[in-house]
Structure formats: C-alpha cells, structure tokens
Amino acid sequence: MKNIILLLTTFLISTITITGQNSTKPIEVVSVFGGHYFKQEGNRLSQNDVLQLMESNKEAYALMKKSKANNTWALILGGIGGGLIGWPLGASIAGGDAQWELAAVGAGFVIGAIPLVSSAKKKAKKAVDLYNGGLNATPYTFDPEVNLKFNGATASLKIQF
C-alpha cells in the first residue's frame, strides 16, 4: 500500500509545472476608434484589472493611474458635450426652438476631450510596455521524465530531471 501511495505521489509531482516568480502573461493594448482596451491571453481586461496586475511595478502603476484619470475626465467631458449637442438637435427634430449655442458649447467639450483620450492612450501603452518589460521572458518549468517498467514480478521507476 505504501508503495502505491509513493508511486502515485511521485507521478502527481512529476506532472506539476512550476513557474518562476512574475511569470504572468503580458498585457496587450488594443486600439479602437475613440479609445483603447486591454487584453491578456485573449481575455478583455478592465482598467481596474490592469491596475491590480501592475501593483508590483510602481512606475507602470503610476502611469496607469494617470491614464485612468485622463480617460475618466475624457468620458465626463465627452458625455457632457454629447448631451449639449443632443439637446438642441432633439429640439430641432421635434420642431421646437433649438438653442444652437448649447451645441457649440457641447462641441467645445467634445473637442476638449480628444487630447485627454490621446494622452490616456499614450500613457496606457507606456505603462503596459514598462510592465511587460519587467516580466520574465522565459519562466522556469520543472519537467522531469518518468518511466515505469514492469518486468515479471519486479517494477522499476526511473526519473530523469
């Protein structure tokens, strides 16, 4: 019974892959019209997920926080601008008296959001590059070769590292 447990334990240990410290997969920045998003191993990540991953790299973390702040302000300005543009547009379509001054102010808000989006994207790419540069390029994997042979009434176990 002890031999079977020892054999099973040895087999299970030999199939485990041990990876080195900081062996997480790299993050990718994907550019889309009007912004960007993040991917890791094919999965889409939120800005908060990326911030959590970057906590170990202080410089990348600081840049990513600035990127997130710029992106937040861009969304606020863009939303206000869109509302100010949409209000007179809706009034005009409904046949009411449209206040086109509001649309002009809204356009100013939208135009003001464009540099913030651009800055957020640049900072995010730089933060991701810093983070990815700090990852181990080739993590260590423990991959022994195990051979179990039966010959009549005897069994032999050979493990090569």
Token readout for 8 is: 């099973």
Average pLDDT of span 102-124: 94
pLDDT digits (tens, 9 = 90+) for 24-64: 788 998 888 878 899 998 899 999 999 998 988 899 999 99
In a domain, 75, yes or no: yes
pLDDT given for residue 98 in this prediction: 87
Please report, as a single letter, which amino acid is at residue 52: Q
pLDDT given for residue 153 in this prediction: 79
In a domain, 154, yes or no: yes
Cβ neighbourhood burial of 139 (10 Å; 0-12, 13-18, 19+): middle
Find the domain containing 127 and state its range.
25-160
In a domain, 12, yes or no: no
In a domain, 3, yes or no: no
pLDDT digits (tens, 9 = 90+) for 11-34: 666 555 443 333 478 899 888 887
pLDDT given for residue 16 in this prediction: 54
In a domain, 92, yes or no: yes
In a domain, 66, yes or no: yes
DSSP state of 137: S
Could you give the number of structural domains in the chain? 1
Strand partners, 52: none
